[in-house]
Amino acid sequence: MKKAAWFLGLILIFSILLSACTGGAGQAKTIKVGVIAELTGDIPAVGASCKNAAEMAVQQINDAGGLDVGGTKYMVELYIEDNAGKADQSASSAQKLITQQNVVAIIGPNASRYAIPASEIAESSKVVLISPWSTNPKTTLNANTNESKKYVFRAAFIDPFQGRVVAKFALDNLNAKKAAVLYDVASEYNKGIAEFFKSTYEENGGTVVAFETYTTGDKDFSAQLTKIKEAGPEVIFLPNYYSEVPLQIQQAHRLGIDVPFLGSDSWGSTELITLCGSDCEGYYFSTHYAADAATPEATKFIEAYKAKYGNTPDDVAALTFDSFGLLWQALQTAGKVDREAVRDALAKISKYEGVTGNMSFTEGSGDPIKSAVILQIKGDKFVWFANANP
Amino acid sequence: MTYLLQQVLNALQLGSIYALIALGYTMVYGILTMINFAHGDLFMVGAFFCFLAATFLHLPFVPTLLIAMIGVALLGVLIERFAYKPLRQAPRVSAIITALGVGIFLENFTLVFAPYPQHVPTLIKNTTWVVGGVSISSLQLIIIALSLVLMAFLDFIVRKTMVGMAMRAISWDKAIVPLMGIPLNLVISATFALGTSLGGAAGVMYALAFPVIDPYMGILIGWKAFIAAVVGGIGNIRGAMIGGFILGGVEILVAAFLPSTYRDFVAFTLLLVLLIFRPYGILGKPRPQKV
């Protein structure tokens, strides 16, 4: 017993010494960046893309000898946390990265329902958080005061814009005057975008004939879809995640619904096509970038990603890469590795040429000004269909 | 009218799956007076067995169903033997917490092998008939029919065979019945095997109807089936079947005629009201607490 206690004590002392050494030696020349990703849970493909792109972004900097900030070369150290697809774990991951790892900024989480709780922690701890993929306005807005959060940014456009883009697309391109919506009422993202779609669609002369909901984890949508069929829409909007959309479309087909379906950026994972098979053929969704109609920046990124991981990067990967790009640019403008200085520099970025297009920020808002694209599902690929500007 | 008929058909499909899972809860409760909270996750494992057999062994429907049922039954017996049996004399709460733990273990064990939602290949060629405006898919009919056959089979075993008689006897009194020469452990194992194999069958049918499966799929549906078992009168086999169909029917019909946002709220309020008037469930009988 006594021996064991001695042994444990020794281990403890050694580990403290060891951590003190590595901490002390590395501190001067490294930038610590945290990532919170959905590696497990209900949307693991999102977390995997985020992790891949984050590792690639950091590796590119480190392979080039580090990031030049104010005349000194810094190596980048990456800390990746899994939020397990849970809101509470997203908040505790943010807490851990800030207090234990002492990171200068956090990238992620991606889905709005996780990004919102994590952003609250970052805001109150005064640490920059950039969510690559979250599109719900509440991520960067303080819910109580309705003012913009000071330390929270994103690389994606926001849902009101996306809802508007899809609604206009349904009216103008598909010529559909009657639409139905089926969405997850328990998820911030789905709920927000469904409501923005409805308001724009009705303002522009369309009618939403059915506005149906379900809750996360449901697999049987037969009651809602039967109701939608009865209402006779010309188009159905499903602003839901890639793991649920295939079930909804397949069940709709089984009930004999044959109108086109529309989606939002949550469709943009190639997993969608794997799960859906031929059922999703020809349908449209709005998203952040098109891999087949790429700018030089995007092509460079897509080639590098393909070479490293063997598949085409989806929108999460592209946005994660852009989040890191924004962070590097902010660090270089700030000229020092300091949380406050990075925030100020980030808020003033007037032009950033990213993989997902040009972005700019204005002081007083964490949302970038950027454009969207509409993609169509053709075979096993997402094909560029139209552009939509703010 | 066609709208109502369509929704009734939807309700029958959902209800038959709830009923099959509820049977597993009710059988285990009947014999051990313990709630096997891992049952929802055994249902999930059944769906994954179906996925494995169909994807990697390319088996047709019937062998896939048998593999899933037998596999899940074996797993159920193993779980009973190693996780619940040592706690048979312990306070009931310990066994329930162990069951929750087993459920979490199964979820995370599956998660290691399948972190992504998996697509289950089509085992039954689906054809949809339109009869008087109502769309009827062959899959729907197979699920409803097969569930009814399995339930009738179970009812037969429990009411007409020696094993069934032994099960009913043990649920009546666990102390005296073994003295009559009835092998207690064997009968309990048989109960677990039967109950969980139905859960496995439900998993297969669920995976065919909703072919995207993930390790957490059993949690919500497990809870709902448990509620169905309670509504029907937990411990009563016919009660579980009725409870499953009632829950499926209430859920679908509430969504059909009220805004779907209120579905769970209204459905479960109705069930709560039912339990206020029949606290032992529809077919349940009050069990006097033995001192």
Does the structure show a pLDDT above 50 at B176? yes
Tokens matching residue A23: 């901490």
**Element spanning B134, H or E:** strand B134-137
B110 has a chain A CB within 8 A of its CB:
no
Cβ <8 Å between A271 and B216: no
Distance from CA of A24 to the nearest CA of B (A): 36
Does the structure show a pLDDT above 90 at A5? no
Nearest to A207 by CA among A171, A238, A258, A164: A171
Cβ <8 Å between B210 and A277: no
Does the structure show a pLDDT above 60 at A20? no
Tokens matching residue A119: 């952003």
Say whether both A150 and A238 belong to one domain. no
How confident is the model over B257-284, as pLDDT tens digits?
888 888 888 888 888 898 899 888 888 8
Nearest to B141 by CA among B125, B122, B157, B118: B125
Say whether both A283 and A178 belong to one domain. yes
Say whether both A149 and A185 belong to one domain. no
Which of A235, A252, A287 terminates a domain? The answer is: A287
Say whether both A216 and A305 belong to one domain. no
Residues composing chain B: 291
**CA gap B183, A136 in Å, rounded:** 61
Q: Which of A5-19, A159-173, B180-194 has the lowest mean pLDDT?
A: A5-19
- Show Cβ contacts of residue A165 under 8 Å, excluding neighbours closer than 6 positions: A286, A372, A374, A388
Say whether both A153 and A298 belong to one domain. yes
Identify the pLDDT of residue A92.
94
Does the structure show a pLDDT above 90 at B30? no
Name the percent of chain A lying above pLDDT 90.
Answer: 57
Q: What is the torsional sign of CA A315, A320, A322, A323?
A: positive
* CATH number of the domain that residue A166 is part of: 3.40.50.2300
Do strands A105-107 and A152-154 pair parallel, antiparallel, or not at all (unpaired)? unpaired
Does the structure show a pLDDT above 90 at A93? yes
**CA gap A313, A220 in Å, rounded:** 31
Query: Quick check: is A99 in a domain?
Result: yes
Tell me the average pLDDT of chain A. Answer: 88
More confident residue, A146 or A352: A352
Q: Which of A141-145, A223-227, A243-247 has the lowest mean pLDDT?
A: A141-145
Query: Quick check: is A20 in a domain?
Result: no
Say whether both A87 and A108 belong to one domain. yes
Rounded to an integer, the average pLDDT of A86-107 is: 94
Name the percent of chain B lying above pLDDT 90.
Answer: 49
Say whether both A163 and A143 belong to one domain. no
Identify the pLDDT of residue A15.
59
Q: Which domain holds residue A185?
A: 159-287
Query: Quick check: is A132 in a domain?
Result: yes
Identify the pLDDT of residue A25.
43
User: Chain B: residue nearest A41 by CA?
Assistant: B115
Rounded to an integer, the average pLDDT of B123-132 is: 83
A270 has a chain B CB within 8 A of its CB:
no
Identify the pLDDT of residue A285.
93
Identify the pLDDT of residue B47.
95
Cβ <8 Å between B252 and A223: yes
Go through the domains of chain B in sequence order and give each one's CATH number: 2-277 (1.10.3470)
How confident is the model over A240-276, as pLDDT tens digits?
998 899 999 999 998 889 999 999 988 988 888 888 8
Say whether both A93 and A134 belong to one domain. yes
**Interface mutation vs chain A, best among B116, B138, B258, most A CBs within 10 Å:** B116
In this structure, which amino acid lies at residue A87? A
Q: Cβ contacts (< 8 Å) between B6 and chain A: which residues? A: 226, 255
Does the structure show a pLDDT above 80 at A233? yes
Does the structure show a pLDDT above 60 at B60? yes
B140, B214, B253: residue with CB nearest A42:
B214
Query: Quick check: is A16 in a domain?
Result: no
**Interface mutation vs chain B, best among A254, A272, A380, most B CBs within 10 Å:** A254
Does the structure show a pLDDT above 80 at B289? no
Identify the pLDDT of residue B31.
84
**Cis-peptide, bond into residue A109, ω within 30° of zero:** yes
CA A346, distance to chain mean position in Å, is 18
Query: Quick check: is A179 in a domain?
Result: yes
Does the structure show a pLDDT above 80 at A218? yes
Which of A287, A304, A338 terminates a domain? The answer is: A287
Does the structure show a pLDDT above 90 at B34? no
Distance from CA of B220 to the nearest CA of A (A): 7
Rounded to an integer, the average pLDDT of B193-200 is: 93
Say whether both A208 and A272 belong to one domain. yes
Q: Cβ contacts (< 8 Å) between A223 and chain B: which residues? A: 7, 10-11, 251-253, 255-256, 260, 263
Residue the block writes with tokens 């104010």: A70
A243 has a chain B CB within 8 A of its CB:
yes
B119 has a chain A CB within 8 A of its CB:
yes
Does the structure show a pLDDT above 80 at A4? no
CB A212 within 8 A of CB A176: no
Cβ <8 Å between B210 and A255: no
How many domains is chain A built from? 2
What is residue A280's DSSP assignment? Answer: G
Q: What is the torsional sign of CA B113, B116, B122, B128?
A: positive
What is residue B83's DSSP assignment? Answer: I
Does the structure show a pLDDT above 60 at A158? yes
Q: Cβ contacts (< 8 Å) between B251 and chain A: which residues? A: 223
Query: Quick check: is A377 in a domain?
Result: no
Query: Quick check: is A22 in a domain?
Result: no
Do strands A67-69 and A357-359 pair parallel, antiparallel, or not at all (unpaired)? unpaired
Cβ <8 Å between B116 and A246: no
Nearest to B101 by CA among B26, B38, B35: B38
Say whether both A164 and A282 belong to one domain. yes
Tokens matching residue B267: 């459905």
**Interface mutation vs chain B, best among A198, A211, A218, A219, most B CBs within 10 Å:** A219
Rounded to an integer, the average pLDDT of B105-125 is: 87
Q: Cβ contacts (< 8 Å) between A243 and chain B: which residues? A: 117, 212, 214
Query: Quick check: is A387 in a domain?
Result: no
Say whether both A223 and A277 belong to one domain. yes
Distance from CA of B109 to the nearest CA of A (A): 13
Q: Cβ contacts (< 8 Å) between A230 and chain B: which residues? A: 3
In this complex, how many residue pairs, one in chain A and one in chain B, have their CB atoms less than 8 Å apart?
Answer: 90
Which of A287, A322, A353 terminates a domain? The answer is: A287
Tell me the β-bridge partners of B130: B135
Say whether both A279 and A163 belong to one domain. yes
Q: Cβ contacts (< 8 Å) between A247 and chain B: which residues? A: 210-212
Does the structure show a pLDDT above 50 at A27? no
Cβ <8 Å between B14 and A222: yes
Does the structure show a pLDDT above 90 at A13? no
**CA gap B61, B54 in Å, rounded:** 8
Tell me the β-bridge partners of B96: none
A227 has a chain B CB within 8 A of its CB:
yes
